[in-house]
Structure 1
Amino acid sequence: MMKLFRKMLKLIFFVLNKLGFMIMPVRNISCLEVSKNMSILSHEKKNTSVTDFKLDQLQENPLVILLAWMMASKKHTLKYADIWIQKGFDVLTINVNPWQFLWPVKGTQVVAADILKFLEQNKTYSPLMLHGFSVGGYLWGEVMVQMAHNMDRYQHILDRIVGQVWDSAADVTEIHKGVPPAVFPKNKMMARALGKYMLYHLKTFDKVATRHYIRSSQMFHTTLVHAPALFLLSKTDTIGTESSNRRVKDNWESMGIPVDWKIFEKSPHVGHFRKYPKEYTNQLHSFLDTIDISKGKLKQKESEENVNKIKVKQ
């Protein structure tokens, strides 16, 4: 009887996987929606609520800011989040849609401001890790552009970041190649048409789009985040290319930023984990072992003490 029950369970799990459902691990993953673009994933259900990006309870877990690729499904982002949740992190997942990407002033720049607002209002989330995919590098560039306008206000966020992981980071010069297959993964004709439109979009809408992509790219190359970095890429990826990632790597190393570098042989764009799951996970774990997780908390405490000193003097 027990053998029959086990076989039935296996069959149910197999069918659910074929239908595209995510089979949760025993420990479970809870999800708290912060906005239409952001959610917090954690090991246990949080008895808390969000009002205007502020959690009503203090959160003292380390936090991963997971900047997903275009049109990333919840099923796929959960798999990456689970790696970090097993290590005791909460995960802030961030997604943007094609419209927000094409019209950054009313799209990605609004999302970037929301990211800063969340991190500013939930200071006890510390330390912070970045894990960005594809156009997630562009989105983080938009975040840093806004930080650069008011460093006194946002320095505490930079101080809390202890590490950064960039998977298949796509440069602005390759976005017309990266976005179309993400939007139309099974329709090559529509993907080609969107690619042609994006080239037209870049040439035509400089003031409301192209110059913002370029500024974000410049900010990504001259990053405000000096925490150790890990780049994950593939020799066969034509979107997050080795050459464009190497330029970033060289710039960062010239600034004194420690950079780890892993090139997979034949994985597709943002597909390294799917093709090489053990190697990918081991690489993340090894990178995490080299990071001083306590550093973010210490820097945050120093920043708060400095603020209190200023208040006393006043």
Structure 2
Amino acid sequence: MADDEIDYNIVFPDAVTSERHWQGTKEPVVVLLGWAGCKDKHLSKYSSIYNEQGCVTVRYTAQLKAVFISESFGFKELSGTALKLLEVLFDYEVERSPVFFHVFSNGGFMLYRYLVELLRGAGARGDPRFRSLRVVGAVVDSAPGSANVRGALRALSATLGPRVHPALWCVLAALFAVTVFLLRVLLYPVTKYVHRNHYDAVREAPPPWPQLYLYSRADRVIRHTDVEDMVAALGRRGVPVDSEDFATSAHVSHFREFPVRYAQRCRDFLVACMASAEAEAELEGRGRRRGVETQ
């Protein structure tokens, strides 16, 4: 593909399924942001949860170098990727549909952070068009983590797997660990003024839409306390937020271990978000009508 393009997949539901679930209202567009190293065949299993619900789905996974190198060294490569991903909605003329995010691990959450900034008009590449997009909610799976060098190394190891020679792996792991520790832990009180990490950026300027955090105490990549602290911080800021601890499942393995429970939780949350958004839109419409009548 050309340098200015991103490698994504989009699936449209059949009209009968969409009408059965949404009954004349615009079906949601669910944007799924994969974990680092995620293969599309794995992400497509998650998108089927929403395709069966009559939703449009867009699948995208950020490149490994952007997640493990660019972000670690403070380069905001994913900011440009976020911009292109939002433009996909306009390319396929679904920008008037409700938007819903499903985010996986820190790899997806890093990109989600820039999407939030663009939608709020706070990013360096802010575009007024994006403020008109109507986001109804987000599911966050196995994220976010903060300043966890050991977890980052485990994620890198799981991503590279046996493809890398053991000696080379030791060198890469050492360089990565030193970089993360220096820039994201030891020197972070200074470097945060140049490039705030994804965890702090979302915690300090969260999006207003409802969010559901799915995690597990058995996760060896993302500490459950990081997720719980994020949920508590969003709640204190008045953001509608909920969470569920799957207790025994490994990192990004909640759906694999508990497929029925996981899928139903996601569908129920999406339906609740859509109902809430419709109720808010109706209240706003009534307010505008009353304003016109009193003029």
TM-score relative to the length of structure 2: 0.73
The aligned counterpart of 2:11 is: 41
The aligned counterpart of 1:138 is: 110
Deviation at 1:196, TM superposition (A): 2.4
Identical positions, percent: 23
1:165 equivalenced with 2:139 (yes/no): yes
Rounded to whole Å, the distance in 1 between the matches of 2:278 and 2:222 is 29
| Residues 66-102 of structure 1 deviation map (CA, whole Å, 9 limit, x = unaligned) | 1110111121111000000011111111111211221
The aligned counterpart of 2:292 is: none
Among 197, 221, 226, the alignment partner of 2:175 is: 197
In the alignment, is the contact (CA less than 8 A) between 1:65 and 1:128 conserved in 2?
yes
Deviation at 1:291, TM superposition (A): 2.1
In the alignment, is the contact (CA less than 8 A) between 2:78 and 2:110 conserved in 1?
no
Among 11, 31, 36, the alignment partner of 1:65 is: 31
The aligned counterpart of 1:110 is: 80
Query: Relative to 1, partners in 2 of residues 1:195 and 1:263: Cα closer, same or farther, differing over 3 Å?
Result: farther
The aligned counterpart of 2:49 is: 83
Q: Which amino acid in 2 is paired with 1:161?
A: V
Deviation at 1:279, TM superposition (A): 1.4
In the alignment, is the contact (CA less than 8 A) between 1:226 and 1:257 conserved in 2?
yes
Unaligned runs of 5+ in 2: 16-25, 289-295
Unaligned runs of 5+ in 1: 1-33, 46-59, 307-314
SS at match of 2:46: helix
Deviation at 1:117, TM superposition (A): 2.7
Rounded to whole Å, the distance in 2 between the matches of 1:253 and 1:199 is 32
Deviation at 1:221, TM superposition (A): 1.1
4+ runs of 1 displaced by more than 6 Å? 204-207
Query: Relative to 1, partners in 2 of residues 1:293 and 1:118: Cα closer, same or farther, differing over 3 Å?
Result: farther
TM-score relative to the length of structure 1: 0.69
Query: Relative to 1, partners in 2 of residues 1:259 and 1:193: Cα closer, same or farther, differing over 3 Å?
Result: farther
In the alignment, is the contact (CA less than 8 A) between 2:255 and 2:263 conserved in 1?
yes
Q: Which amino acid in 1 is paired with 2:255?
A: F
